[in-house]
Amino acid sequence: MEEPLTIEGGHPLQGRVRISGAKNASLVIMAATVMVPGETILENVPCIRDVEVLADILECLGARVTRLEDGNLSIYVPDDIKVETPYELAKKLRASNLLLGSLLGKKREARICLPGGCDIGSRPMDLHLKGLAALGAEVRLEHGFVEARAGKLVGNRVYLDFPSVGATENIMMLAALTPGYTVIENAAKEPEIVDLANFLNAVGGKIRGAGTDLIRIEGVAELKATRYAVIPDRIEAGTYMTAAVATGGDVLVENVIPTHLYPIMAKLQETGAVIREENGGLRVQAGAEILPVDIKTLPYPGFPTDLQSQMMALLSVARGTSVIVENVFENRFRMVDEIKRMGARIKVEGHTAVVEGVPRLYGARVKATDLRAGAALAIAALMAEGVTEIENPYYIYRGYENFKSKLRNLGARVI
Ligand code: UD1
């Protein structure tokens, strides 16, 4: 059992925080390296648990993953990489399902253990499997594994019923090494998709249109290793921006791509915060009070589901009532019962949460139920009167690099 994360609230965050490389871009690009023989060097891959688990999975497949002295990640992929992910590791990480497209592309077969990860909804893989099958893969679900064989692969049109991030990524990876043209319609448009496309193009792939809902991929015969820098983490940035506003703080958030942050900036500004570009970063200053706002989570460029819980924590002390609609993952309200233990007044009805602002939260012992819920409880703890102990803090460390030290540097009392 890991020590709870203990935070004494009531101290405004002040100063600068440097944002790490994006977790979700790092994970998918790491998965994509199995298609690239030789040594790929990745810059800006954060030191977080999810990255460690995926690195362990890659090693089990026969790759050599090394954190270099300069902090970059070296991934050496031999020709005879194995095609089956190990159950014990894969069940810890949802993103291990991204090895399906890459292994199938490279080895023409894959056996992927149905993945685990945060429990935020049923998270099926039907769209991934439909897409891979459209390119000619024979896919079977058996004994908790997805088994896929290449059959005769050839590019095709794939329409996604929903712009799933993971499905778009798996199809892009397989298509990169599939003869002919593939077109993904209603593709996900997240910045991490664009980063994957940029990586695949850097290693010799031919992908156009990433970042729009129509991605065109011309298959190539092989990919060649290179060096690539991962984009900054917009969700980590949004988390510190929200924490700055929640604590009445003033924080310069450095190493960000501001356009990726427009959805969260717009909502924080509606709550009364002042945000402007300064010295290449974003300076976030809390307003005199927190105004209520309504939020609907949507695929990018809508408001990200990965920042919904953090906003809920902030709005729990707004001057009025906010309505939050979660359209992406059905279990993202599991943290409501925890934050209510700190005095929040929130009613959940299906996909909708009604958050009635209270004057203040109080420290309590609470439990992180997933990664973003953990971050949200940390924000609640930073605002609360007294001390909060967050159990299961490992959820937070799955996705936030140096979480405690970054908060301490901003003046938080993390005990
Ligand atoms: C990725 C991110 C996650 C983020 C999410 C939405 C990674 C490692 N994780 O997750 O942090 O919250 O995007 O931005 O990048 N769905 C289906 N069938 C499928 C696939 C998905 O019904 O085959 C549903 C899911 O259950 C969910 C919704 O589509 O309700 C969105 O899922 P998706 O976009 O695929 O998210 P992930 O790729 O799992």
Report the CATH fold assignment for 5-20+232-414. Answer: UDP-n-acetylglucosamine1-carboxyvinyl-transferase; Chain (3.65.10)
Q: 134: which DSSP letter? A: H
Domain boundaries, the chain: 5-20+232-414, 23-221
Mutate to test the pocket of ligand 1, among 27, 123, 306, 396 (most ligand atoms within 8 A of CB): 123
Distance CA 4, CA 413 (A): 14
Q: Whose structure tokens read 């999975």?
A: 57
Return the ∠ at Cα 194 (arms to 266 and 52), rounded to 5°.
95
Residue 60 designated active-site: no
- Ligand 1 contacts (CB < 6 A) are 24, 27, 94-95, 121-128, 162, 164-167, 188, 192, 305-306, 328-329
CA atoms within 13 A on the CB side of 334: 16
Percentage above 90 pLDDT, the chain: 90
Atom of ligand 1 nearest to the CA of 50: 8
CA atoms within 13 A on the CB side of 76: 5
Residue 85: its pLDDT value, please? 92
Q: Compute, in angstroms, the gap from residue 117 CA to the centroid of ligand 1.
A: 12
Report which protein residue has its CA nearest ligand 1's atom 1: 165
Nearest to 375 by CA among 250, 264, 229: 264
Stretch (H or E) spanning 406: helix 403-409
In terms of residues, how long is the chain?
Answer: 415
Mutate to test the pocket of ligand 1, among 328, 395, 400 (most ligand atoms within 8 A of CB): 328
Q: For residues 237 and 253, is the Cβ–Cβ distance under 8 A?
A: yes
Q: Per residue in 118-158, pLDDT tens?
A: 454 456 888 999 999 999 999 988 887 889 998 889 999 99
Residue 336: its pLDDT value, please? 97
- Average pLDDT of the chain is 95
pLDDT at 117 exceeding the cut of 60: no
Q: Report residue 190: phi and psi, to 5°.
A: -60, 150
Report which protein residue has its CA nearest ligand 1's atom 21: 164
Interaxial angle between packed helices 371-383 and 308-315, expressed in degrees from 0 to 180 and rounded to the nearest 10: 20
Report the CATH fold assignment for 23-221. Answer: UDP-n-acetylglucosamine1-carboxyvinyl-transferase; Chain (3.65.10)
Q: Compute, in angstroms, the gap from residue 313 CA to the centroid of ligand 1.
A: 23
pLDDT at 53 exceeding the cut of 70: yes
Residue 121: its pLDDT value, please? 47
